[in-house]
Amino acid sequence: KQEVTQIPAALSVPEGENLVLNCSFTDSAIYNLQWFRQDPGKGLTSLLLIQSSQREQTSGRLNASLDKSSGRSTLYIAASQPGDSATYLCAGAFNDYKLSFGAGTTVTVRA
Amino acid sequence: EAQVTQNPRYLITVTGKKLTVTCSQNMNHEYMSWYRQDPGLGLRQIYYSMNVEVTDKGDVPEGYKVSRKEKRNFPLILESPSPNQTSLYFCASSYAGAYEQYFGPGTRLTVT
């Protein structure tokens, strides 16, 4: 069974600090890993997708890495802002029919 | 604009009253899926469809039905809703199952 874990469940940082969000998974035969942002009561916004053949992906202040051998992905958000406050979910595709989601890390950026 | 739409966005209903949540995508995606999100349990897949007329069960299919008669639409049917189906529901689509997935805005369902 493919399991995806995100620790910690919650994180609070002062504005301007870099954010480091962790995601671990049990099955190294991963097709891809996707990071999402979810605001309270809202839908999921796709942030980055890393294919299994890639080591990292970047978009603006966001950078995500993937290490299949250790079963880890990390999302870095540079120079955090209060608008970055949200829940961040990682999800692994280990087959061609579903995503396995982590429980998420809720981030609060203090002004 | 490329998007996944769901209707209704909010629904309060009573036990046993049949309901349908619609999902539509305009990206010509082959794959569509339904998830439910519950506190402490995260997102769990209910059903998925790899193509028109091809559907299969996910992790929590009990109490739900789906159909895929057209490529763009994938409705979720609750024949006899119960309070344990109170949840936030998301529809998703992608070019194929292991490709980047796009999610709808969610439907918050309350069954009393």
| A101: nearest Cα among B48, B1, B59, B69 | B59
The pLDDT score that the predictor gives to residue B84 is 97
Name the residue with tokens 């991963």. Answer: A30
pLDDT tens-digit map of A32-86:
999 999 998 888 999 999 999 999 999 999 999 999 999 999 999 999 999 999 9
> With an 8 Å Cβ cutoff, are A41 and B42 in contact?
no
Tell the residue number behind the tokens 């990292």, with chain if given.
A56
CB A78 within 8 A of CB A18: yes
| Contact list, B105 vs chain A (CB under 8 Å) | 42-43
**CB–CB of B42 and A101 under 8 A?**
yes
In this predicted structure, what is the pLDDT of residue A10?
A: 96
Q: Tell me: the pLDDT tens digits for A19-34?
A: 999 999 998 889 999 9
pLDDT of residue B99: 84
Residue type for position A41: G
CB–CB contact B106 A43 (8 Å): yes
3-class SS of residue A33: strand
* pLDDT score at A52: 92
Confidence of residue B59 (pLDDT cuts 50, 70, 90): very high
A97, A100, A106: which to substitute to probe chain B, counting the most B Cβ within 10 Å? A97
Give the separation between CA B38 and CA B108, rounded to whole angstroms.
Answer: 11
The string of pLDDT tens digits covering residues B19-55 is 999 999 999 999 999 999 998 888 999 999 999 999 9
Cross-chain residue pair A44–B45, CB shorter than 8 Å:
no
The average pLDDT across B3-15 equals 96
Q: Do B97 and A93 touch (CB under 8 A)?
A: yes
Residue B65 has pLDDT above 80, yes or no: yes
Assign A96 a pLDDT band (cuts: 50, 70, 90): confident
Return the pLDDT at A2: 73
Q: Which one of A33, A38, A44, A95 makes the best mutation probe of the B interface by having the most chain B beta carbons within 10 Å?
A: A44
Q: Tell me which amino acid residue B67 is.
A: S
CB contact under 8 A, B103 and A43: yes
pLDDT, position B109:
98
Rounded-to-integer distance, Cα B28 and Cα B106, Å: 20
How confident is the model over A99-109, as pLDDT tens digits? 899 999 999 99
Residue in this structure with the two tokens 């091809």, named with its chain if needed: B54
pLDDT given for residue B74 in this prediction = 98
Q: How far apart are CA B48 and CA B27, in angstroms?
A: 17
What is the full DSSP assignment across B2-54?
--EEEE-SEEEE-TT--EEEEEEESS--SEEEEEEEETTTEEEEEEEEEETTE
- Average per-residue pLDDT for chain B: 95
Q: How confident is residue B97, by pLDDT bands cut at 50, 70 and 90?
A: confident
What is the interface size between A and B, counted as CB pairs within 8 Å?
Answer: 58
User: What gap in Å lies between CA A58 and CA A64, rounded to an integer?
Assistant: 6
Looking up tokens 């189906």, which residue turns up? B85
Q: Shortest CB distance from B90 goes to which of A34, A43, A96?
A: A43
CA-wise closest residue to A86 among A42, A28, A31, A56: A42
C-alpha A47: how far from its chain's center?
Answer: 8
Q: With contacts defined as CB-CB under 8 Å, which chain A residues touch B92?
A: 99
